A and B are shown apart, each in its own frame.
Chain A
Amino acid sequence: MRDPAIEAEGLTRRFGETTALVEFDLTVPTGTVHGLLGPNGAGKTTAVRILTTLLRPDAGQARVAGHDVVREADRVRTRIGLVGQQAGVDEQLSGRQNLEMFGRLHHLGAAVARGRAGELLDRFGLTEAADRPAAKYSGGMRRRLDLAVGLLIGPAVLFLDEPTTGLDPRARNEVWREIRSLVTEGTTVLLTTQYLEEADQLADALTVVDRGRVIATGTPDELKGADHLDVVVRDAGSLERTAELLAGIGTGEPQLDRDRRQISVPVGDRMTALTRAARELGDVEDIALRRPTLDEAFLELTERSVR
């Protein structure tokens, strides 16, 4: 078993009065995609900035690609790529000039940097726009260029801080496709996002943060929890009675949605629940079994952390 690509323990960081991160722990095995999920201001970016050597923690320690992010920051920097919230590219330079410059700064040498730039432009569909200034790129193109710069050295660990924020669905899909193909090549990815769908699509495992604290860790399926049984009744008057019956079938509190005449309840074994519901409920409009969305799980988790 190889060492984890990212290993953080007890990371804490304050900015004046506010504590951005509190005893943050994280382990990301090599070759996996880990999602860091949380609302705005939850501490995701602070965590990424510490792990990418941009920020020193007040307490705790972290190793990235086998090196300590504070004591061996220089070593870490030769192994990581960062795609931040702003596209960190020089808008006055063309895509090609950007890649060549950053390649030289990674000490690839002029010729290798030029070759790498060509390859990456090709791979990210930017060859045609290669010699136009990046300022003229669309949001999606700029983000792809940003991603290309992050991949210049073939980093061991790639940090993506909200890589699709502000992109339209098509551009988002393009970025997702690129991230997936990276992972098949063995890069470890730490991805922060506010979009649950994104985490669901890309991440092998998730850490949910809220107000600086880790409130849950697990695979997307684990975090989603139990399946739900949705029942729609014909007559709003029978909602309460049906909910009572469902309370006996499900494993948790039934949730009522009066407008849609729907009751939703988490269940244990899928088939048992479904057959019991069909037998015991009598005349209902619709019964459906479904996987809960990550949204539901997320809301539940953050609400729990407020209480």
Chain B
Amino acid sequence: MTAYVNDSWTLTRRTLLHWRNQPAQLALGLFFPVMILLMFAYLFGGAMSVPGGGDYREFLLPGMFVLTMAFGLESTFQAVTTDVGRGVTDRFRTMPISSAAVLTGRSVADMLYAAAGLAVLIACGLAVGWRWHDGPVDAVLAVGLLLLLRYSLLWFGIWLALVAGKPEMLMAVQILVWPLAFLSSIFAAPETMPDWLGIVAEWNPLSATAAATRELFGNPGQGGALWPAIAWPVLLLTVFVPLAVRRYRRLT
């Protein structure tokens, strides 16, 4: 158990060292969502209206938080496939460390990255006029839901990376993430879409978290219950944690 904690920490620390060695790369990753936020807030935002009224930026921010969590899938995927491709994973697997420690190290590092990204985006949101309206408890709960979403996508990302195996497949993951993100209630309300598309968007797991966080932050747009925003990630975790662990143990 001590070994597990120590090994997980050593591997988390490894990613922290990456950040220290390449701060520019870290900054670029953290500020990419900020760029998209500014683009939607000022470039497209003027042309958007929120059904039921309300400020578009207030509507947009919860969606942007969700989007940033979804983008995290790409960094998980890239980190895992790079290790597999470079033989680092093989080296770990010939060492006396548990697979759980390797995967925990990855997930703790990615969650720290997600939390940092979220903090940057919240600060920018506050700067462009977004606010939470229903008190700090609900706001913290909303942040919790966002991180839960990220955590579930992280395990999906690990599994996907172990199956795909090559860093060159990142492009394919981006092609997967973008429509998944846009076909949701992140940037536009599903009511404004053609019926069938609106249904897809409403059933998108990302929309569930977007709706629940809008509700909790007291932001405009269609809110939603808490439970789908918990149920979806839990479902993803139930499926992909065992799949990822199994895949890691059986890598060839």
Partner-B contacts on A (CB < 8 A):
15, 49, 52-55, 74, 77-78, 80, 82, 84-94, 97, 101-102, 104-107, 133, 149
Contact = CB atoms under 8 A, between A and B. Distances in A.
Rank and list the top 7 A-B pairs by shortest CB-CB distance, nearest first: A88-B87, A86-B87, A88-B91, A77-B96, A104-B10, A92-B18, A84-B87
Contact of B14 (A77, A82, A101): A101
**Candidate in A15, A107, A133 with the most chain B CB atoms within 10 angstroms:** A107
A15 B252 contact: yes
A72 B151 CA distance: 33
Interface in B135-190: none
A87 B86 contact: yes
Contacts of A93: 14, 17-18, 21
Contact of B94 (A52, A87, A97): A52
A80 B87 contact: no
B78 to A, nearest CB: 12
Contact of B6 (A85, A86, A91, A104): A104
Contacts of B85: 86
Given A92-B18, A92-B22, A94-B21, A105 B92 contact: yes
Interface string B1-39: 001001100110110011001100000000000000000
19 contacts: A15-B252, A52-B94, A54-B94, A54-B251, A77-B95, A86-B85, A86-B86, A87-B86, A88-B87, A88-B90, A92-B22, A97-B21, A101-B14, A101-B17, A102-B95, A104-B10, A105-B10, A105-B95, A106-B96
Contact of A89 (B88, B93, B95, B96): B88
A242 B135 CA distance: 103
A89 B86 contact: yes
A97 B14 CA distance: 8
Kindly state the interface size class of chain B when it binds its partner: 20 to 34
Contacts of A92: 17-18, 21-22
B120 interface: no
Contacts of A86: 85-87
B17 to A, nearest CB: 6
A54 B93 contact: yes
A93 B96 CA distance: 21
Given A93-B14, A97-B17, A133-B21, A106 B95 contact: yes
Contacts of A94: 21
A84 B83 CA distance: 13
Q: Which of B10, B22, B95 has the most CB atoms of chain A within a 10 A radius of its CB?
A: B95
B193 interface: no
Contacts of B21: 92-94, 97, 133
Given A53-B94, A88-B88, A104-B7, 12 more contacts: A52-B94, A53-B93, A54-B93, A77-B95, A82-B90, A84-B90, A89-B91, A90-B88, A94-B21, A97-B17, A102-B91, A107-B6
A212 to B, nearest CB: 16
A93 B18 CA distance: 6
Contacts of A105: 7, 10-11, 92, 95, 97
Interface of B: 3, 6-7, 10-11, 13-14, 17-18, 21-22, 83, 85-88, 90-97, 251-252
Nearest to A84: B87
Contacts of B86: 86-91
A69 to B, nearest CB: 11
A107 B3 contact: yes
A91 B18 CA distance: 9
B96 A87 contact: no
Nearest to B15: A92
Contacts of B97: 105
A77 B91 CA distance: 10
A94 B22 CA distance: 11
Given A54-B90, A82-B90, A74 B96 contact: yes
A101 B10 CA distance: 7
A257 B55 CA distance: 89
A15 to B, nearest CB: 7
A139 to B, nearest CB: 14
Contacts of A107: 3, 6, 96
B100 to A, nearest CB: 13
A247 B96 CA distance: 59
Nearest to A51: B94
A53 to B, nearest CB: 6
A87 B87 contact: yes
B55 to A, nearest CB: 41
Contacts of B90: 54, 82, 84, 88
A54 B250 CA distance: 8
Nearest to A113: B10
Contact of B252 (A55, A84, A88): A55
A80 B17 contact: no
B243 to A, nearest CB: 19
Contacts of A101: 10, 13-14, 17
Contacts of B91: 82, 84, 88-89, 102, 149
A76 to B, nearest CB: 9
B5 to A, nearest CB: 12
